[in-house]
Amino acid sequence: PGVNGQGIGIAIVDSGIATHSALKDSALKNKVVANISFVTGDPSTDDAYGHGTHVAGIIAGQAGPSVTNLYDGGIAPGAQLVNVRVLGADGRGFTSDVIAGIDWVIENRALYKIRVMNLSLGHPIGESCVTDPLCEAVARAVGAGIVVVASAGNDGRSENGQRILGGITSPGNSPFAITVGALNTWGTSDRSDDTVTDYSSRGPTKFDLADKPDLAAP
């Protein structure tokens, strides 16, 4: 409980972060300390899709009845958030915009004390991680001292319900990223019955055959 992210900046490279009471601290000070958009043709930093705000709440949200009594707050409620919008109102975006956002985070890491970058996004793998431009951007970030967390993807099953192997998305295939999948707890606190959620992407990674994801959580 004493490890709450105090003094740590976390860049959320996503669909933006909307204004929300859960994203203020106990003194009602905004936890989002910087906002920038790299969405082509859309300078707004607001979240018209909802995904980035959801991610921000998981990471550093403040619990309270204004949200829901079922929400106990984020994992690191003492952290400061940096809103880097790269996805549009439909949740989609250009890879080039994402890369521009990652490079901005690298350039501004000292200014906002950014130690972690979250990339809950991805596209199908089309080449080895060695030459994938998105994976190269992740490698640059890690080389600059930033911990990069990426989603495994939501390609764990086909439209007819069959399990898919090798569905990890880029940049979750990067060896420099901590790639996270989703668990189904089956409504219990016991870990022994946990399984990877059907929709969550599984490895091995395409082309490189790497073991991914690195971890999974509810």
Are 154 and 188 within 8 A, CB to CB? no
Q: How far apart are CA 124 and CA 168, in angstroms?
A: 8
Q: Please answer whether residues 53 and 83 qualify as being in contact, where contact means their C-beta atoms are separated by less than 8 angstroms.
A: no
Question: What is the reported pLDDT for 68?
Answer: 72
pLDDT digits (tens, 9 = 90+) for 114-147: 999 999 999 999 999 999 999 999 999 999 999 9
pLDDT-based confidence at residue 1 (cuts at 50, 70, 90): low
Using left for φ > 0, alpha for ψ between -120 and 50, and beta otherwise, residue 199 falls in: alpha
Q: Where are the alpha helices (DSSP H) in 10-132?
A: 51-60, 95-107
φ and ψ at residue 182, rounded to 5 degrees: -110, 140
Q: Is the pLDDT of residue 3 over 90?
A: no
The pLDDT of residue 60: 95
**DSSP 3-state assignment of 184?**
strand
Listing DSSP states for 185-206 in one string gives -TT-S-GGG-EE-TTS---SPT
Looking at residue 72, its pLDDT comes to: 80
Q: Is the pLDDT of residue 154 over 90?
A: yes
Model confidence at 67, pLDDT cuts 50, 70, 90, reads: low
Quick: pLDDT tens for 174-213.
999 999 999 999 999 999 999 999 999 999 999 999 999 9
Alpha-carbon span 108 to 117, nearest angstrom: 12
Closest CA to 181 of 160, 165, 192: 165
Tens of pLDDT along 164-176?
Answer: 999 999 999 999 9
- Strand-pair category, 195-196 with 178-184: antiparallel
pLDDT digits (tens, 9 = 90+) for 14-58: 999 999 989 998 777 899 999 999 999 999 999 999 999 999 999
The span from the CA of 218 to the CA of 183, in Å, is: 4
Give CA–CA dist 185/12, Å, rounded: 26
**Whether pLDDT at 66 is above 70:** no
What is residue 12's predicted lDDT score, i.e. its pLDDT? 98
The whole-model pTM stands at 0.95
**The two structure tokens encoding residue 143:** 């080389």
List pLDDT tens digits, range 91-119: 999 999 999 999 999 999 999 999 999 99
Cα 182 from Cα 140, distance rounded (Å): 26
Residue 63: its pLDDT value, please?
78
